[in-house]
Amino acid sequence: MGAECRYEVAQAAYVKLALHALKHPSAAVNGLLVGRLVEPSSTPAVVSVVDAVPLSHHPHHLPLLPTLELALTIVEDHFATQGEGLAVVGYYHANPRRDDADLPPVAKRVGDHIFRYFPRSAVLLVDNKKMEEAVKGKSREPVVQLYTRDSSKSWRQAGSDGSSQLALKEPSTNVVLADHVTTKKWEKIVDFDDHLDDISRDWLNPGLLD
């Protein structure tokens, strides 16, 4: 079903996932994408990704199903109370190695899990090389690759680079990201691991991008 969708990523979601990856450059980082299906009857349908929830940052971390289920439940419950029709619509992942551009098995497994709840889910893989260019202000291309699940239940990169199905809602998003990197905003981002270690740290990251 993913091939029938276009994915529009809001600035807040994009910058959060990028800052999460930048904070832990030697670790595998991952998180949840929050959004809604905004134009289900259009061709293609449009999924709007409005926020990102950072999950973990361990070098060889494999999200355990109970931990993932807990995170999904907490995130879903929180956004359900907002009354805006938001839900978990996907997952993002960044590999620890700069030259590793392959979607790892763990990302596929988490994607499959989310797919059960949202059949138009997406997986975004951070492209570490494109990230380097973006934070230097040298590129406006998305620093993520879009993967969707095909009819054979395999996760495949959308098109040659996913550009036809993936768009940044605000064209200047990479400029904003570079500004946040200059002010070391990545130091302040909190993920679910941090929250479980110290519950006073808010995984919603309120005020992070103000």
Structural domain containing residue 39: 5-197
Order across the sheet with 122-126: list the strands.
Answer: 155-157, 144-149, 122-126, 87-94, 29-39, 45-56, 5-9, 166-168
Could you tell me which of 41, 40, 69, 37 has the C-alpha nearest to residue 55?
A: 69
Written as one string, the DSSP assignment of 127-145 is -HHHHHHHHTT---S-SEE
For residue 203, being part of any structural domain is answered with no
Nearest-10 Cα torsion for 57, 180, 89, 146: -90
Q: What is the pLDDT of residue 162?
A: 47
Q: What is the pLDDT of residue 33?
A: 97
For residue 210, being part of any structural domain is answered with no
54: which residues sit within 8 A by CB, 6+ positions away?
A: 16, 17, 20, 29, 31, 189, 190, 191, 192, 203, 205
Q: Helix, strand or coil for residue 51?
A: strand
For residue 157, being part of any structural domain is answered with yes
The predicted model scores a pTM of: 0.91
Which strand (E) or helix (H) includes residue 53? strand 45-56
DSSP one-letter code for 30: E
For residue 151, being part of any structural domain is answered with yes
Q: What is the pLDDT of residue 41?
A: 76
pLDDT tens track, the chain, 210 positions: 444 789 999 999 999 999 999 999 888 999 999 999 987 777 788 999 999 999 988 755 555 667 777 888 899 899 888 888 999 999 999 998 887 888 998 899 889 999 999 999 999 999 989 999 998 888 888 999 999 998 889 999 987 544 579 999 998 999 999 999 999 999 999 998 888 889 999 999 999 998
Q: How far apart are CA 125 and CA 156, in angstroms?
A: 11
For residue 207, being part of any structural domain is answered with no
For residue 202, being part of any structural domain is answered with no
For residue 209, being part of any structural domain is answered with no
| Total number of domains in the chain | 1
For residue 147, being part of any structural domain is answered with yes
Could you tell me which of 64, 76, 153 has the C-alpha nearest to residue 106?
A: 64
Q: What is the pLDDT of residue 3?
A: 46
- Residue whose tokens read 């302040």: 188
Q: Compute φ and ψ for 64, nearest 5 degrees.
A: -75, 145
CATH number at residue 73: 3.40.140.10
Count other Cβ atoms within 10 Å, centred on residue 161.
Answer: 15
